[in-house]
Every structure is written in structure tokens, then in C-alpha cells.
Structure 1
Amino acid sequence: MKTAELADLVELLSQEVDLLEKLHSVLVSQQEALVEGDVERISALVEEQISVLNLVGEVEARRKALLAACGSEEGKPIKIDALIDIAPDYLATRLSSIRTALREVIEAIGKVNSQNGMPINQSLAYIDNTIKMIAGEDQTSTVYTPNGEVTRNT
């Protein structure tokens, strides 16, 4: 891989990190909106999330095209560690920083994403139970015995 192509790849990876950090920020805001129950804000943030994900997809497509043009084998991704080994020092340093940033932001996104799923699932369960009660489908009630055990009465 030529130094100019490697520099272009470093730039694309840097853009991808920036976009993923933006996505993380959107997800954190979405989490706050979920907790507050702000439906309008959630809707706006979902639109922003989709927009950022589309941009990530575009950068990823450009990165794959660049790697294909550089002769990387189809289906075999080139790892950043391998690029660091062949890169000039100034690019190797940037690649190392990008590798660390990618790991951190992807881990942070995964954490927030799983945390965002919890209140959504709780809300869905609450809505489901409410609908069942209104529709008369839920004829059971939970009762605690004097020993603290839970029993269901029908």
C-alpha cells in the first residue's frame, strides 16, 4: 500500500471515529430523553441517529473501496495492526491513536445501546400489562402470603 493511499485510509478512519463519537453523543441524549419520557425529543434523536448511521455507512463504503483499490483480498479485512506495521512513523502513530479511539467509542456505544434497551423493554412490558388489564385478559392478581411468598389468584 502506497503512503498516499495509507494517508487517505487514515483520514477515512479518523472520519469514522468522529462519526461514531457523534453517534455515541446522540445515544446518550436518547437515553436522557427515554428517562424523561420526552417522545418528541426521542423522535428527533432517532432521525439524527439514522442520519449519522447513513454517514458512517458512506465512510465505510469509501474505506472498503479504497482497500479494494489497494489490492486487499475481498472478504479479508486488513487489520489496523497490520497497517501500523507497514506505515511510516507519523501515520503509524495516528493509526495507533485511531485504533484506541475506535475501541473506546465502540465499547461506549455498546454500553449505552444496551442501557437504552432496558427502559424500552420495561415500558413495553408496562404497556402490554395495561392493555391486558383494560381488555380483561389479565384476570390474575399477585398476592403476598404472610410468609412473604408470592401467589397468583385467578
Structure 2
Amino acid sequence: MTALLETQGLGRRFGGLQAVSDVSFSVPAGQVLGVIGPNGAGKSTFINLVTGHIKPTSGKVLIGGKDMTGAKPWAIAHAGVARTFQIVKPFRGMTVRENVAVGVLYGSSRNGRMASALERADQVLEEVGIVHLGGRAPGELSVADARRLEFAKALALDPKLLLLDEVMAGLRH
């Protein structure tokens, strides 16, 4: 069976710093996998390499068996991979609901119809527990609700693979 994600010898240098070095592994469908390490270990860089936000200096990224090494982030998203960011990055000038609808419109199951995108956005917002905040501006959200929005935006893409970068960042017990 083809893995959802496979990396082969993946690496990234920034000048003299080797941020990611020779990472090879695969993620089959249905598996939950955590990448752990201390601050500065290259975890976020690895996610950026997989999702096309940074190009690798060595190795390959395969998504569903297809070589997507160095592909643009939108191409990775269309291939069924979504991600969250450590720092929440909502689309300013849009409501919470509209932020999520963007993911529906441009995700792997996109159909281009705003009415159905808004309907699906409401479903995703319900799933993450913030449907009641759909009409608000993202800047009005608490840190916890902003994290939920970030998660909802990724879920709206209807991904086959979801990568969560520092999912608990900014949250307290």
C-alpha cells in the first residue's frame, strides 16, 4: 500500500546550519504520528519542507507515491495535505466563517460555490466548537479560539493528511 507521506533522505541547510538532516520515514493511512524534539530541533522546518513552504536541499517528499519535492504549497494542499502554523495566520478583513470557507473553496474537494463553502464552513466550525463565533473578526478571538480557527481552516481543506505544528502553542493549562 502506498504511504500518504514518505520522505527519503530529506534535508535542509541554512548556510552552515543543518536544520533537517537525512529524514526518511513514511506515514500510512490511519496512523497518528508525533514528531518530538527540543526547541530548534527542526520540527517546524520539517513540516515546512513537506508542505512546500521551504525547498529541501536534499532528499525527496512523496505524497501518495507522487514526487512532490519542492512543489508549491497550493499544490501540496490540492494533493490532500493540510497544515496548521505555530503562529495563527487568519485572513484579515474576513470573518471567522469566511476564513474557513476559503479552505473549502480551495481544498482537495473544492467546487467553487460560495453558498456550499459557507455551509461546509459552518459544519467545520461546529466540529471545533466555535460555530457561534462565525460572524466575528479573527482578531476578536481568544488565543484558544484562534487556535481552533487555525485547526478549522486546515480541516476545511478536507485533507487526507493533517500536519499540526505546535498545536498547543500559546495555550495554558
Q: Which structure is higher in RCO with an 8 Å CA cutoff and minimum separation 6?
A: 1
**Greater percentage in helix:** 1
Larger Rg: 1
Q: TM class by shorter-chain length?
A: under 0.3
TM-score, normalized by length of structure 2? Answer: 0.20
TM-score, normalized by length of structure 1? Answer: 0.22
**Greater percentage in strand:** 2
